[in-house]
A and B are shown apart, each in its own frame.
Chain A
C-alpha cells in the first residue's frame, strides 16, 4: 500500500517497541538503533508489499528480526568476545543490588540460544500471541511454545539455580557487610 500519513504515524508508533526488541536481541544500544534504522528504511522501501489491514508491528518485527539474524551471522565472533568481556567486568563491580540483578538477567538472557531468546522476548515482553510470534520467526506455533518453555527453564537454571532466596534482602545485607558465613 502507499505510504500514507496514517501509515507513517503507525510506523512511528512502533519505533519504541522495535527499539526494545532490537536491544533485547543484540544487547547493545548503538547496534540496536542501527538495526531499527535499517528496518525503517527497508520497511518504507518495501511498503508496497505491506498488506493493508494486516499486523503492521508484526511485519516490522519480522523485518528487524531477519536483519538481525543476517547481521548476527557476520558478527558472531565479535559478539561472543564482547559477551565474555562484559561478564568479566560485571564480576568486579560492587554489589549495587538492583543494578546487578538487572545485569545478571541481561547476561543470562544473552546466553540463551538465539531461537529461544527471540521467542521469549516476542511472547513474554513484546506481547505478541504465539501465532504472531510464529509468523515473525517463520516457524510453527508449537515450535514457538517449546522455545519459550525452554528459554524460561534455562533462565531459571542460570539465575536461580540455588533457589530464590539468593535474591532475598538477607543476602544483600550480608554482601554489603562483607559476608560473614
Chain B
C-alpha cells in the first residue's frame, strides 16, 4: 500500500480513512453472497417473457405485450 503523502498530510489521511470506511461498508454486503431468493429468481426465469410477466404482478399468461 502507498503511504499517504506528507504534503497535505491530514487531508490525505482523512481521504484514506473515508476510502476504507466506504469499502468496509460495501464489502460487508458483498461478502454476504447471493441470497437464495435471488438465486432462485434467476434460475426460475426463462427469459424476457417470464420476467415481464413476473414484473406485471403474477398473471403469467395474460401478458402478451411484445417489445
Min distance, Cβ A6 to any Cβ of chain B, angstroms? 12
A3 — which chain B residues lie within 8 A by C-beta?
45-48
Q: How far is the CB of B2 from chain A (nearest CB, A)?
A: 16
- Would you call A36 an interface residue if the criterion is a C-beta within 8 Å of the partner chain's C-beta atoms? yes
Q: Which residues of B contact A (CB under 8 A)?
A: 10-11, 13-15, 17-19, 21-35, 37-39, 41-43, 45-48, 50-52, 54-55, 67
Q: How many of A's residues come within 8 Å of B, CB to CB?
A: 44
Provide 16 A-B residue pairs closer than 8 Å at the C-beta atoms, listed in order of the A residue.
Answer: A15-B42, A19-B29, A19-B32, A20-B27, A40-B42, A44-B51, A45-B48, A45-B52, A45-B55, A47-B47, A102-B21, A124-B19, A125-B23, A152-B18, A156-B15, A164-B13
Beyond A16-B32, A40-B42, A46-B67: 10 further Cβ-contacts under 8 Å? A8-B43, A15-B34, A20-B27, A21-B26, A41-B41, A45-B51, A101-B21, A105-B21, A125-B26, A160-B17
Q: Is A120 an interface residue (CB 8 A)?
A: yes
* A16–B30 touching, CB < 8 Å: yes
Query: Chain B's interface: helix, strand, loop or mixed, by majority?
Result: helix
> In the bound complex, what is the Cα–Cα distance between A23 and B25 (angstroms)?
9
* Closest A residue to B45 using CB positions: A44
Contacts of B39 in A (CB 8 A): 12, 15
Q: Does A106 contact B (CB under 8 A)?
A: yes
